[in-house]
Amino acid sequence: MRDKASRMLAATLVLVGATSCGSGGSGTNDRPAVRERGGGTTTAPSAIAVLRRAVEKSRDAGTANYSGSFFFDAASLGTDDPAQGTVSLRDGTAAYTVDMQKETQGLVPPSTPPSEIQLLVRDAGNQLYLRFPAAFASAGVGNSWVRIAGASDPAGVTLPPGFSQVSARPFLAARLLRPATCFGFLDSATSARLVGKEDVRGKPTTRYSFEWSPRQWVENTGLFFFFGKDRSPARLATIDDVLQRATTGDVWLDELGRVRRVVIDGDLTLVAPYMDATVRQQTWREVRTKCEFYDYGTHVPAVSVPTNVVTRGTGG
């Protein structure tokens, strides 16, 4: 059974976005060009200070509406998952829904109504609570919420016990689209510089590009599986180097210094040759995560921890 589960996990990760619109879908035109950081008119120390204050000011604002997307450009293996919800930045909680209609093969039965292809996520106490009855049916949990840690095991995503028949994609999507992840990028920024003035959702903002540690994001979301099992210091140093060269980070701050948009973009044509040979794909081109925060200070429902929670299933 363990060998079967391992093979299944490998298959679901390779097919992380099966049957979706790998050529881009909506919202691809506003992504920053990979390796094109621009700007340079602000010194690194002062720009970093601006980003640090932006995180504080955003959290001081308390609440906001949230919109996100995870885009994976890999031809027939690609996906473009949108998310929508609310965040309480001061409390560190969030509630959001991930629309997974573009990657249903192997996730839910073909006849599943679109309204049921929605992954519900609550984020509280550094724990994620997932409800996705259509996809979790084979695990025998019904309408219960499945609790997982906010961050993955560094070696890669793992399925909860009893979920061997379930695709890993809901667990990946929940972490990839977690609003707190975008603020984590800014918290760990090592350098930054000014790009210029741009509008976000009709609001004037200032855009900055920044650098951070991409491997931390890969590990926290569960994507390190793509690099294999070798975590020796030399191997990790190589991965750090290629990820640093292949990724960009951009943030848009409003006139009050609050975060309005964060985009992380990776050039997979540079990264793919360093992936594990069993999952490497020649058609992989880009991966991008976007978060947007708007209507700061708006009233949002308190995020309560579900009472009907399970940490393991009964299937497989």
pLDDT tens, 69-99? 988 876 655 677 899 999 999 899 999 999 9
Asked if 151 contacts 175 with a C-beta cutoff of 8 angstroms, the reply is yes
Give the DSSP per-residue string, 201-256: TTEEEEEEEEE--HHHHHHHHTGGGGG-S---HHHHHHHHHHHHHHEEEEEEEETT
Of 37-51, 105-119, 216-230, the poorest mean pLDDT is in 37-51
pLDDT at 78: 61
pLDDT at 240: 95
How high does pLDDT run on average in the chain?
82
Bridge partners of residue 194, in order along the sequence: 208
pLDDT at 77: 59
- pLDDT(307) > 70: yes
Asked if 127 contacts 149 with a C-beta cutoff of 8 angstroms, the reply is yes
Residues above pLDDT 70, as percent of the chain: 81
Q: What would the CATH number be for the domain defined by 2-24+32-302?
A: 2.50.20.20
The token duo for 113 is 């109504």
When comparing pLDDT for 91 and 43, which is higher? Answer: 91
pLDDT at 269: 87
Q: Domain boundaries in the chain? A: 2-24+32-302
Query: In whole angstroms, what is the distance from residue 185 CA to residue 12 CA?
Result: 27
Report, as an integer, the average pLDDT of 144-171: 89
- pLDDT(136) > 80: yes
- pLDDT(27) > 70: no
When comparing pLDDT for 233 and 3, which is higher? Answer: 233
Give the DSSP per-residue string, 53-79: HHHHHHHHT-EEEEEEEEEEE-BTT-E
* Residue 298 DSSP symbol: -
pLDDT at 252: 96
Burial of 70 from C-beta contacts in 10 A (0-12 / 13-18 / 19+): buried
pLDDT level of residue 276 (50, 70, 90 thresholds): confident
Describe the chain by its helix, strand, coil percentages, rounded to 5: 30, 30, 40
Asked if 63 contacts 85 with a C-beta cutoff of 8 angstroms, the reply is no
Bridge partners of residue 97, in order along the sequence: 84, 120
Half-sphere exposure of 206 (CA within 13 A, CB side): 15
pLDDT level of residue 8 (50, 70, 90 thresholds): very low
Give the predicted TM-score (pTM) of the model. 0.83
> Angle at CA 248, nearest 5°, toward 9 and 173?
30
pLDDT at 41: 52
Give the burial string for 26-63 (b: 16+ CB within 10 Å, else e).
eeeeebbebeebbeeebeeeebbebbeebbebbbebbb
Query: In whole angstroms, what is the distance from residue 239 CA to residue 246 CA?
Result: 10
Query: In whole angstroms, what is the distance from residue 139 CA to residue 155 CA?
Result: 24
Burial of 280 from C-beta contacts in 10 A (0-12 / 13-18 / 19+): middle
pLDDT level of residue 16 (50, 70, 90 thresholds): very low
pLDDT at 22: 33
Element (H, E) at 14: helix 2-14
How confident is the model over 98-115, as pLDDT tens digits? 998 776 666 777 777 777
SS (H, E, C) 137-154: HHHCCCCCEEEEECCCCC
pLDDT at 110: 76
When comparing pLDDT for 267 and 19, which is higher? Answer: 267
- pLDDT(279) > 80: no
